[in-house]
Structure 1
Amino acid sequence: MRNAWRTCAVCLYALLIGACSSVSLKQVDHFGTSALKFSEASQKAFALYEDASVQYKLDYMATTPRTEADLRIFEGFISYSPQATNAIGVRLKRLELIEAYAVTLKTLATTDPKESIDKSSTKLNSSLTTISKNSGNSDPEVQKQIGLVSTAVRTSYTEFAAHKRRQAIKDLVIAMHPSVIAACQDMVQRFSVPLTGPSPSIPAFVSAQLDLRQQYLLQEYNRVRELPTTTFERRRALLSNLNAVYLARVAAPQFFMSLREVAEKAESAQLALRSAVLKDEFSTSELVENLIQLQDKLDDAEKFYHSLVPASGG
């Protein structure tokens, strides 16, 4: 059904594109929306990575009452490890970069007020500068991109005529292309299992923490289930927590796999958008197809994420 709908949608868009005499920026807006969702979904994954380590420590402490607690149990792996903080920090800045790029594209495609353009492009320029510093990248090409974006989007479009809006989008897409592609490819690697190299494997780490949480919760249930003081409500609560963690453990690999596919489709959509704007086209059947596929993958990621959330704080 999904494939049939996709085929019909692509054909319909192709007919509409051919029938319109004016240049439509609707697909640029749709790309911005999808890119924004991609950034948000990926940031949720890093939040799960942080939360998994905290929840594991809480369950461990709860099932080992003789172990003395300290405030470090509330620190996630990212907060506790300087190496992880630096490595993950760069990734989060790259996601902020995608977010700022998406917002600026949407602003260019849908609004006129120069104040909105200035606000979005300022955020983009700040993100570009930050990612350049945090990654230790002194590549002149990166610095050139920063200058291009600032010039193309902020200073040249006081008179925001339609052709200048399209030119701003074109300049932005071309200037940002290397950084966006690099960010997408990095997310593909981050959400793949197994992952080799100095950076931690996020999917493997989350799954391992959930495995340990299952063990601790099961151990606690078996310890108290026959005690005279254990009520039905207590047993039921423990089993509910165990079930939530079990469902999260099942969903975790699927969530990260879907995020990897989202990153791959986001890269394909960016390639299609760049290909289109290089020909001064802003809505093509290739771009539409990639955007539909990207939305499909985003829907899958959201579905699996909802299966993971109940285990947080369980």
Structure 2
Amino acid sequence: MAKCRRCGREAGYRVSYAKLWLCGEHFKEYVEERVVETVVRHGMTGGGGRVVVAVSGGVDSMSLLAITAKRRVEMGVEKIVGVHVNLGIEGYSDLAEAAVREYCGSLGVECTVLRLRDILGVGLPELASRAGRPPCSVCGLVKRYLITAYAVATGASAVFTGHHLDDAARYMLKDLYVGDFKSLAGLKPAVREPGLPVKAKPLITLGKKDIEAYAELAGVPHLEAPCPFKHSTGVEEAAEGFLKALEREHPGARLILLSSMLKLIEGYIEPVEKETYRRCSVCGMPSRSSVCSFCRLTERTLGEPMGGRVLRSLSQPVFS
């Protein structure tokens, strides 16, 4: 029977890429320490200490919220705000909101809910239908914009999201396959753009199985039901299958891929991205064109670009 590397007791958890056996208590400690190390190494708090944690209600973001609340002093975090976007999906969104509110309350963390229907007058299903786009595509765009806009409006120094190692490796392969090299720059552990909070991924060195095991050991509640619109593309499924097979044969392969890709991003892709940096002429948020994706989407579906109005409304304390 394997023994815990730290205390010698019976080990029930193996961190394959680190060739490490740990008992339950020290596995939790290992996960938390790894997150703290990632935050500190990459300067993820942005130096200001007020951090927005994007919380969907799923196991990844709820675990991130728990670890940030528990280890905030070591991370250099002075203030945490859990931010949840209620997308207006019948039978799902209200359950997710309730789960997030309850857990934030139990942790003593301030919770802010941004309701898409209150902000834009429509929920995600109708917005996606009007746009003629898949709900997941519209969802990602809207959530990124609203959470970043809230962080800007409230003076946050960073936004933490629950993206983990499996996510990063899968997205990297997909972007390489389709030739979307610009999107690769956004997969860095911490993305910095002038005048914006740091966009950070504190879980990026942890696999999904590690996070799920941590949540079970630490008693982190989360919404079990998946979003009814969730789906994977054929490319994403193929990438995930390839990565799982590679990891089985070569433990640590995802971390090696991440490290190699970050060198590519920093050496070749990021310098080009900096040269093409611009801001939306409507709302002032970062954009690859003269008008950002959110303002273009809302103009096409709602009759006017809503970015500027959203930014102004989020600066008022009416959503908390």
Relative contact order, CA 8 A, sep 6+: which one is greater? 1
Larger Cα-atom Rg: 1
Quickly name the TM-score band, shorter chain normalised.
under 0.3
Structure richer in helix, relative to its length: 1
**TM-score with structure 1 length normalisation?**
0.26
Structure richer in strand, relative to its length: 2
